[in-house]
Amino acid sequence: MVSAEFNPMGTTALVTGASSGFGVGYAHALAERGADLVLVARRQERLEALAVELAETYGTVSTVIPLDLSRTDAVAELVADLRSREITVGTLVNNAGFATYGTFVDLDPARELEEVDVNVRALTALTHALLPGLLTTALKHPHGAALVNLASTAAFQPVPHMAVYGASKAYVLSFTEALWYETRGTGLKVTAICPGPARTEFTEVAGNDELSFYRRQLSVDDVMHTTFAALDRASVPPHAVSGTQNAVLARLSTLSPRRAVLNTIGRLSAPGRRR
């Protein structure tokens, strides 16, 4: 029997948001499996340090591209840069994203639109631009090409006080599952990964690290395990939730009355609620 294990050896993987958290985790996991890397994030020094670490640990060649994906021209610039370097991306991990926290009417509208730009627009544009190369790689390297989009357990229900974030992740989940269907039979492994709260810089950026439901947090390794367990399956699931409890809660949120779920999440996420 031919193994279905995800094997990107000899291909190139692009990871957005690669300067911290899950992005670093994905870079290490992909390098360990033999892929070269394109590392994309705003913080060049961190990317360069990661590239050195990957080279020393795995012998991986990494291309560092510092870029702010909230810029409207960022994806076009990134794609042009890849073409000029003659890099074909075989695996795309759309990891870049952030959240804001607070009552929507009180939040900075420019920052909210920036959140949509990174979480939705850039992810969509980059996926569209690179998908032909992913499909070509899938033909040439069986079980060696993937599209991984980072959604969230926030995708399964509205999230008061993180309204834009929850909506953006609902988009990512729906979008990825549709692509999973459209690319069936091509050999491309497509999935949306849905972590719950995790020990990364995410909550510091969002400003909601004191909420009670952040007591139980996933590690980066937990999310990597979920991702690659999904990619190693012969039939990759359209989405995978990281953490057993998170998977149960996500399932319950789809089965319970939507208004009841909304009221519960609203109470748990209310500003001023402490651990």
Q: Say what the pTM is.
A: 0.89
CA 97 to CA 259: how far, in whole Å?
27
Tell me, what's the pLDDT at 166?
Answer: 96
Domain-embedded: residue 2: no
Domain-embedded: residue 118: yes
Domain-embedded: residue 102: yes
Helix (H, G, I), strand (E, B) or coil at 237: coil
Active site residue 58: no
Domain-embedded: residue 65: yes
Domain-embedded: residue 164: yes
The tens-digit pLDDT sequence of the chain (275 residues) is 345 899 999 999 999 999 999 999 999 999 999 999 999 999 999 999 999 999 999 999 999 999 999 999 999 999 999 999 999 999 999 999 999 999 999 999 999 999 999 999 999 999 999 999 999 999 999 999 999 999 999 999 999 999 999 999 999 999 999 999 999 999 999 999 999 886 655 555 545 555 545 456 889 999 999 999 999 999 999 999 987 787 777 787 777 777 877 788 888 888 765 44
CA 173 to CA 175: how far, in whole Å?
6
Q: Domain range for residue 69? A: 12-268
CATH number at residue 23: 3.40.50.720
Domain-embedded: residue 107: yes
Domain-embedded: residue 198: yes
Which stretches does DSSP call E strand in 143-209?
146-150, 189-194
Domain-embedded: residue 1: no
Domain count, the chain: 1
CA 33 to CA 53: how far, in whole Å?
15
Query: Exactly one of 58, 101, 165, 171 is catalytic; which is it?
Result: 165
